[in-house]
Structure 1
Amino acid sequence: MSPREQHPENALYRFYGATGELLYLGVTHDPKQRWAQHRRTQHWWLDVARTEVEWVGDRATAEAAELAALEAEKPRYDRHLSGIYRNEVPSTVRRHADPEAERKIQNAVRVLAHDIRAGVFPQWTVMPSMGSLSDRYSMPVMAVDTALSRLDFQENLVARLDGRTVVVDPREFSGEGLRGHRLTLVLLRHHFEVRPFTAALAAASLRIPLNTMAQHIRLLTRDGAVRKKAAAQEFFLAP
């Protein structure tokens, strides 16, 4: 029987380091599958010494619990739009001990940086997934992953928001404090396109606190980029 069949609800999970520090938390309906993804793609996986799983109900309940936990517990490697936790430079930014792996990483940095500067990936757009970039350039996923971290921390050509979403060259905001609402607009377009959304749905989708999302929506509505449906709590993006 699969984890999903055993537990029809969703799991809020936490990863701790050897000293008890909370490294990461997230939600999933299938911990085994999700953790396998972390193992393949996340540089901090080798630091995980202990896990905790809490089954919390349907997806909306789980995401609400996740947002509350992110705000209260501030895991080392979780990032969201109300601020990036940069307690230390990720280990992926440091030189790899394996010379061949380091050569592949440096090649990925060079190629991606060239194409970003050349406009292949325009400013203020969300880059393709790491898997898509890996296929496009015939590079290992881990080389692409590490290259994107270096382009974030060392070159400031991209911003990695949650380990997955990468925005190209967002020069107009810093890595601390409330993010620019223009970045929020980029992510709203990426997630919703022409679909209507509520502030709560947008907050859960972008993994930021509801009150922060409400501030961004007010600013975007003022600027005409977001419009509110009459007599409803739904919003939609202006063409």
Structure 2
Amino acid sequence: MSVANDRITAPAARPGQTALYQFCDDADRLLYVGITSDPKTRWARHRRYAATTWWTLATHVSVDWFAERDAAATAELRVIRTQAPLYNSGGSPSPFRDQAPEETPCPMTNMQRFREATGGGFQPPGRPWRNMDQAVAETLARDMAAGRMRCGDQLPRVAELVNRFGVSADTVHRALRRLVAAGRIERQGVGSGTRYFVIPL
């Protein structure tokens, strides 16, 4: 199946089956692997949230269907651990243990992005953040304290924060909830119209 930047035709869902998909670039480097029962919806999320990372690099994708989701998840984990996709982080072998035969650590491209975006000084040496949402919240709070975001300013949209920090949309939402609870920002609107604004301390 061919991919032309943002013009992707996802295969139709197959009721009761789970797709294992692998996006590659024009040099056949594996960019990202995932599983889904609904490729159209899942790939639309990739188009939105991976717009500045791997999505526009993809030139082709392969799809294999499994009758059981557990079987697809097992296959996905094996691909992550043996083929080291450039933009997966979940499921990659821990750098703190010996590798099993044939395992290859992922490049952790998104983790590198996260560390760069948070300044690299928030986590103890040699230990990644256990609560990435806390690091995102503290980084945004630091931006406010430095005047890079002022009272009344609207925060970047979730998709922009996902791309900045290399984290999931869920992590960004948790970070925003932390800032709301701390009285640093306020939420306005609901659903897709939700926006966040800096408020006075």
| TM-score scaled by length of structure 2 | 0.49
Higher share in helix: 1
| TM-score scaled by length of structure 1 | 0.42
